[in-house]
């Protein structure tokens, strides 16, 4: 079965950096686009970034572009999100998700349980 396990979250000071990871199993990782979606405490879902199945295309929300970088290692079945110049408003639970269609960037059919990033001095 599809499993997505995020890691790398924690408490970090404003302006610092963090790398999140999402380890995938149970599907052909290299055939699917992958997403990061975040949820601030008590708030709704916010799409953050998507990467194509082969890593050649990345898409970002305007609120994070230039500060967050999505990447993947298909040989190890790991998705990454590098967060830099972190701000208080980046505090959220970060979910990774598998795209629902092969070779596409669409909806998310499987979600991890999330990793919490807290930006605080």
Partner 1 sequence: EIVMTQSPATLSVSPGETATLSCRASLSASSNLAWYQQKPGQAPRLLIFAASTRATGIPARFSGSGSGTEFTLTISSLQSEDFAVYYCQQYNNWPITFGQGTRLEIK
Residues that bind partner 1 (CB under 8 A): 35, 37, 44-47, 50, 59-62, 95, 100, 105-114
Per-position DSSP letters for 86-117, written without gaps between them:
--GGG-EEEEEEEEEEET----EEEE---EEE
- Give how far the C-alpha of residue 84 lies from the chain's centroid of Cα atoms, to the nearest Å: 14
In whole angstroms, how far apart are CA 42 and each of 34, 63, 88?
24, 19, 15
Closest approach of partner 1 to the CB of residue 99, in Å: 9
Nearer to partner 1, 83 or 99 (CB): 99
- Counting every residue written for the chain, the total comes to 121
Closest approach of partner 1 to the CB of residue 13, in Å: 27
Nearer to partner 1, 63 or 74 (CB): 63
Closest approach of partner 1 to the CB of residue 114, in Å: 6
Closest approach of partner 1 to the CB of residue 113, in Å: 6
Nearer to partner 1, 18 or 96 (CB): 96
């Amino acid at each position: 079965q599809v499993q997505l396990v995020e890691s790398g979250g924690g408490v970090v000071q404003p302006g610092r950096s963090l790398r999140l990871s999402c380890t995938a199993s149970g599907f052909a990782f290299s055939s699917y686009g992958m997403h990061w979606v975040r949820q601030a405490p008590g708030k709704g879902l916010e799409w953050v970034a998507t990467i194509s199945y082969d890593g050649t295309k990345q898409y970002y929300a305007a609120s994070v572009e230039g500060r967050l970088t999505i990447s993947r290692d298909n040989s190890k079945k790991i998705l990454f999100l590098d967060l830099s110049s972190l701000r208080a408003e980046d505090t959220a639970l970060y979910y990774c998700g598998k795209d629902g269609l092969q070779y596409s960037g669409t909806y998310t059919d499987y979600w991890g349980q999330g990793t919490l990033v807290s930006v605080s001095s």
